[in-house]
């Protein structure tokens, strides 16, 4: 994983804190339980918001932090890998970064990846890339089959 500066860690904290489940337990809403798993808060709990008592347990917070860090590591590599990843060729570094990221998906409470282009599930071993697009209130992070991205780029 990448070594991050204080500013980058603060940005990641804001990203992790932004995701709140729609159905929070009353204990979680009162700051007495983890907002994500509803479990007890340990000494390693993370304060997610300062205006209201929103706390995450260390396990859930760390899992979400790992998801973001590994996604951005993979994305950074793909963005700079002009000889393989951007040419839809096999890249062992890109595949390794994706494999590390794949391990974080379930622990972070994320749904199984789907291609943002064709909306089909993304399976282990398929050539995929991380994609980011800007929304009205936040950036969206996702995945795409490499072939779908290359086909769309060729059509434009």
pLDDT in tens, 25-82: 889 888 899 999 999 998 989 888 778 888 999 999 999 999 999 999 999 999 999 8
Strand residues in the chain grouped as ranges (E): 46-49, 54-56, 128-134, 139-145
Pair 105, 63: CB distance under 8 Å:
no
Question: Residue 37 belongs to what domain range?
Answer: 1-156
Distance CA 108, CA 36 (A): 9
Report which DSSP code applies to 115. B
Tell me the average pLDDT of the chain: 86
The pLDDT tens digits for 126-148 are 999 999 988 777 778 999 999 88
Distance CA 35, CA 22 (A): 10
Distance CA 10, CA 15 (A): 9
Pair 19, 64: CB distance under 8 Å:
yes
How many structural domains does the chain have? Answer: 1
């Amino acid at each position: 994983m990448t070594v991050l500066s204080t500013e980058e860690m603060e940005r990641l904290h804001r990203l992790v804190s932004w995701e709140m489940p729609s159905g929070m337990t009353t204990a979680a809403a009162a700051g007495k339980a983890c907002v994500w798993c509803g479990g007890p808060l340990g000494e390693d709990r993370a304060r997610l918001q300062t205006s209201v008592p929103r706390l995450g347990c260390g396990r859930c917070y760390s899992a979400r932090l790992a998801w973001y860090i590994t996604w951005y590591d993979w994305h950074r590599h793909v963005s700079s890998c002009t000889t393989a990843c951007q040419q839809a060729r096999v890249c062992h570094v890109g595949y390794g970064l994706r494999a590390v990221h794949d391990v974080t998906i379930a622990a972070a409470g994320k749904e199984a990846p789907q291609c943002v282009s064709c909306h089909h599930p993304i399976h282990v071993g398929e050539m995929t890339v991380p994609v980011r697009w800007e929304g009205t209130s936040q950036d969206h992070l996702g995945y795409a089959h490499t072939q779908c991205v290359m086909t769309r780029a060729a059509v434009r």
